[in-house]
A and B are shown apart, each in its own frame.
Chain A
Amino acid sequence: MRAFAALLRRDIVLSFRSGGGAGLGAGFFVLIIVLAPLGLGPEQSLLQSAAPGLIWIAALLATLLGLERVIEPDLQDGTLDLLRLSSLPLELVVLAKVVAHWLTNGLVICLLAPLVAPILFLKPQALWVLALSLLLGTPGLSFIGTAGAALSAGVRRGGMLLALIVLPLNIPALIFGASAVSAIQRGGDPTQALLLLAALSLIAAVIASLAGAAALRLNED
């Protein structure tokens, strides 16, 4: 448990130091939201109906950003070899990486989203559903993303590969997340979509812990 906490703290501290990517995802997220009206035009009804999807797409892309720093540096500087030797199971190493990535990336997006959503004229009653859907969904994105990062670590210019692996697997989260927010905005009931979103994150937690640990174990020459 102490090893887990130490690893978690190390990863969080590193992501705030220079070269880390703590604010990167959140900044990118806000940027997409601000740019959307410039591309789509200022018309309120169009932006309002597009807002749930746009915000979720922005969240999906923003979580991709920090992923290259999750496993890759550890592989390069030999930390990964020490982690393999340590008593901490690799599944928990993956979990620590996921939690660190989510705290510095997903959680920030959850907190920022209700603040920037009014730019797209998202209805006020949908704001809490938006925050809740991101809170339920972004951990799943971090899990799948970290597993993808473990798979593509050690690949030169692996960013594109990482996106190619992670994005198709995250499509279900995008569908349920955006539809939960759309539902409440159109006066419907978002419960079903939110429950499914939570289920997706739980499934992702199981699959990604196992797959990520297997990838860390086997990703060596």
Chain B
Amino acid sequence: MLHYANPQHFLSLARRLTPWLLGAALLLLAVGVYLALFVAPPDYQQGEASRIMYVHVPAAWMSMFVYGCMAAASVAAFVFKHPLGDVAAKAAAPAGAVFTALALVTGMLWGKPMWGAWWVWDARLTSVLILFFLYIAYIALWDAIEEPARAARMARILCLVGAVNIPIIHFSVDWWNTLHQGSTVFRMDGPKMPVSMLTPLLIMAIAYTVLFAGLLLVRMRTEILARRLRTLRLNLEGAPA
């Protein structure tokens, strides 16, 4: 960890790893999509529409996983002053927001034929929506503060406050939902998932994770280089002609 606190070491490692990660992600995605769309059996109740699950469920997992990564990176920056912590958290946020949006949109696409409505104020849908707002607030805070070092310090705090609050929000939305709706529309406790459906799901989940890791490295490199460029520019403007 400490070795890669030096941005130079990190940049050279990231440069070597990125093509492998992105290549692996593409390969896994291709295999996963093939298995999910052509090999896996359709659900005996939901039919072909259940295939949205292979895109939807890993995205929903990632929406939580990425926020966890951001919180861990923020702790690394806050407690251990790791110089790449903020860069990692900032780079992860848009990816997390996109995964969350993907989970929401595919959920709606699945909900229309299954529930007969694009949107239901279901507990899980609602807390994912609020998670999406938290991502947006985090990204907006970074954008609003011009000076990167200051933006980084403020964003760290917001990320950790959000991390503490996510379980509270999730719990209260659950409580709100059971209070307002007697029965939930959809329950997961059907028969256990057969291996032919579980395999493509897990492959897709791994593909998403590897894709996220690859994109994270690309974005972190971009961010480090953008900061260097900014410093160079400021020095250039500050220097006497």
Contact = CB atoms under 8 A, between A and B. Distances in A.
B130 A219 contact: no
A156 B145 CA distance: 8
Interface pairs A-B: 5 shortest CB-CB: A172-B172, A218-B153, A175-B176, A168-B133, A155-B144
A147 B175 CA distance: 26
B147 A221 contact: yes
Contacts, number: 78
A196 B149 CA distance: 38
Contacts of B173: 171, 175
A134 interface: no
Interface in A166-221: 167-169, 171-172, 175-176, 179, 196, 200, 203, 207-208, 211, 214-215, 218-221
A164 interface: yes
B236 interface: no
Contact of A168 (B134, B147, B160, B179): B134
Interface stretch (B43-51, B88-96, B161-169, B214-222): B161-169
A152 B157 contact: no
Interface of A: 147, 151-152, 154-156, 158, 161, 164-165, 167-169, 171-172, 175-176, 179, 196, 200, 203, 207-208, 211, 214-215, 218-221
A172 B153 CA distance: 26
B169 A168 contact: yes
Interface stretch (B98-106, B135-143, B197-205): B135-143
Interface residues of B, number: 29
A220 B150 CA distance: 7
Contacts of A218: 150, 153-154, 157
Given A151-B141, A207-B164, A219-B153, A165 B158 contact: yes
A165 B176 contact: no
A165 B140 CA distance: 9
Contact of A165 (B141, B147, B160, B168): B141
Interface of B: 130, 133-134, 136-137, 140-141, 144-145, 147, 149-150, 153-154, 157-158, 160-162, 164-165, 168-169, 171-173, 175-176, 179
A167 B136 CA distance: 12
B171 to A, nearest CB: 8
Contacts of A172: 165, 168-169, 171-172
18 contacts: A151-B141, A152-B154, A154-B145, A154-B150, A158-B144, A164-B136, A164-B137, A165-B137, A168-B130, A169-B165, A175-B176, A176-B172, A176-B175, A179-B179, A218-B150, A218-B154, A218-B157, A221-B149
A179 B176 CA distance: 8
A219 B154 contact: yes
Contact of B168 (A164, A203, A208): A203
Which of A151, A176, A208, A220 has the most chain B CB atoms closer than 10 A to its own CB? A151
Given A211-B161, A215-B154, 11 more contacts: A156-B144, A158-B144, A161-B140, A164-B137, A164-B140, A167-B133, A169-B162, A179-B179, A196-B172, A207-B164, A221-B147
Nearest to A158: B144
A44 to B, nearest CB: 22
Contacts of A200: 168, 172
A207 B222 CA distance: 33
A54 to B, nearest CB: 16
Contacts of B150: 154, 218-221
B157 A151 contact: yes
A170 B190 CA distance: 35
A154 B116 CA distance: 47
A171 B145 contact: no
Contacts of A156: 144
Contacts of A155: 144-145
B182 to A, nearest CB: 14
A152 B144 contact: yes
A171 B172 contact: yes
Contacts of B169: 168-169, 171-172
B179 A147 contact: no
Contacts of B149: 221
